[in-house]
Amino acid sequence: MPPFNCLFQVLSLGLLLLTTILADSNPVSDVRPVSKKQRAACPEDYTPCTCDLTGYGLEVTCSNVSVEDIQDVFFRTQAFRLYSVVLSVSLSPSGSINLPANVLQEKRAENIFVICPPNASPKVGLTVDPATFEFTRFNTTVFAILNCDLSGQTDMQFLNDFSILNTLRIENTLNIESIQSLPTLPALRKLIISGCTGLANAVFPDLTPARLQRLYLNGNGLNDETVNSILVSVGSSSSASSLQELILANDGMTKIPRIASFSKLSVYDVSYNVIPFLSQLTLIFSPPVSLVSLKSISLQAIEGNAFQGDFTYAQVNLENNNLTEFRSDVFLFMLQQMATQPSGTAGEVRVTGNNFKCDCGLAWLIRDNQPLLPRVRNGVCDGFFKFEDLTPNSFQNC
Ligand SMILES: *[C@@H]1O[C@H](CO)[C@@H](O)[C@H](O)[C@H]1NC(C)=O
Ligand SMILES: *[C@@H]1O[C@H](CO)[C@@H](O)[C@H](O)[C@H]1NC(C)=O
Ligand SMILES: *[C@@H]1O[C@H](CO)[C@@H](O)[C@H](O)[C@H]1NC(C)=O
């Protein structure tokens, strides 16, 4: 299982809170310079919330603070522009969190995180008034909801007019059907919905005119049908020609969704599903591939020509599967592309945790194409023999 659940367990550790959630939990993360994270005292008192002044600006964290106290904090403080606001609101008497209009008063926050208690069982219901973040709507670039239950939230009007929002994260959250009414977010580049329920009951929103670059939908238990309808929606939106990364790991798929409609896709991750067979022309990439991950999908067989594209620099991950054949009509072309580059930069095919057969099926590689061997990582046959230790001579009679 991927580590997103562990992430939320450290969230309650005060200072770690902000650092942890601003650090991206996903495979391709933005690396921030350490020096920017130096902390200094803030010019104003945000008690009972806390405040740090970092190279990015003011970072305000309200942990287990009531809505009324949060409103009071932003009413009495002057700083107009905040780098981030983390709202871990204390529960109302009914055990839920209900954000009313203008929680931040007229303050502008570049990053907003709404966090329900990570370990609550059942999860805490969250409702957000359409005007909760009204004043910051032209100034917020990142918005996240973590660990909540959105069954009481019937729309997403609270994101109306978020004209520069580039990242929306909904993680570890139940009943996100209201995603269906997601308003137009023209600047959206990264949409992360992970560890959530409810997507299968929603019509995936038409994201046009957004030009999404990253779509992470891991850990939502999505079946083939739901994934297909989501990809049809995204593939017929303005994102078809902008999407670069698609993560569908740890869902409930049994087939690999076709990606031919995405003309910029170079990262595709379907690991931790159960996909025993990969048929021909399943994975057709237009731009040079960076990563294709088929790790831990119980893969038993790959048909010839399943992969098409430029794999010169690609990481092709086939680890922990049940492949018994390493076939030339699947891998030869890809390995030849990789072998045009020096080791440090070239792509590779990782096959750790598969048990190939030591038979004539490997002659094309071991006997006929020794120079390609370094591009295959951790190949083992008959449970014991490393590919690189096999002698070409032993395939003489093949
Ligand atoms: C939040 O505060 C309330 C009282 O203000 C307390 O009972 C509760 O245990 C606190 N929860 C956490 C997670 O600290
Ligand atoms: C918020 O956005 C508006 C519209 O782009 C801009 O005029 C204003 O300066 C921004 N305010 C802050 C505090 O960044
Ligand atoms: C498939 O591979 C996984 C991981 O390598 C292993 O745990 C499992 O037992 C294998 N299943 C079969 C049917 O061989």
Mutate to test the pocket of ligand 1, among 64, 70, 87 (most ligand atoms within 8 A of CB): 64
Instruction: Confirm if 365 and 372 have CB atoms less than 8 A apart.
Output: yes
**Cα–Cα dist 202/9, whole Å:** 29
Mutate to test the pocket of ligand 2, among 82, 108, 134 (most ligand atoms within 8 A of CB): 108
pLDDT band at 22 (very low <50, low <70, confident <90, very high): very low
> Who lines ligand 1 at CB under 6 A?
64, 90, 117
């997403």: which residue's tokens? 156
Terminal-residue alpha carbon distance, the chain: 41
Burial of 391 (0-12, 13-18, 19+ CB in 10 A): exposed
Ligand closest to CA 95? 1
In 3D space, the residue among 278, 268, 358, 382 whose CA is nearest the CA of residue 314 turns out to be 268
Give residue 39's pLDDT: 81
State if residue 75 touches ligand 2 by the CB under 6 angstroms criterion.
no
Q: Where are the domains of the chain?
A: 1-13+276-398
- Does residue 29 surpass a pLDDT of 60? no
Side chain identity at residue 83, one-letter code: Y
Report DSSP state, residue 267: E
317-358 pLDDT, tens digit each? 999 999 999 999 999 999 999 999 998 899 999 999 999 999
From residue 209, how far is each of 143, 169, 204, 215, 237 by CA, in Å? 19, 19, 15, 15, 7
Helical residues (DSSP H) of 23-165, grouped into ranges: 67-76
pLDDT band at 16 (very low <50, low <70, confident <90, very high): very low
* Mean of per-residue pLDDT scores for the chain: 91
Compute the residue count for the chain: 398
31-45 pLDDT, tens digit each? 444 567 778 889 999
Ligand closest to CA 81? 2
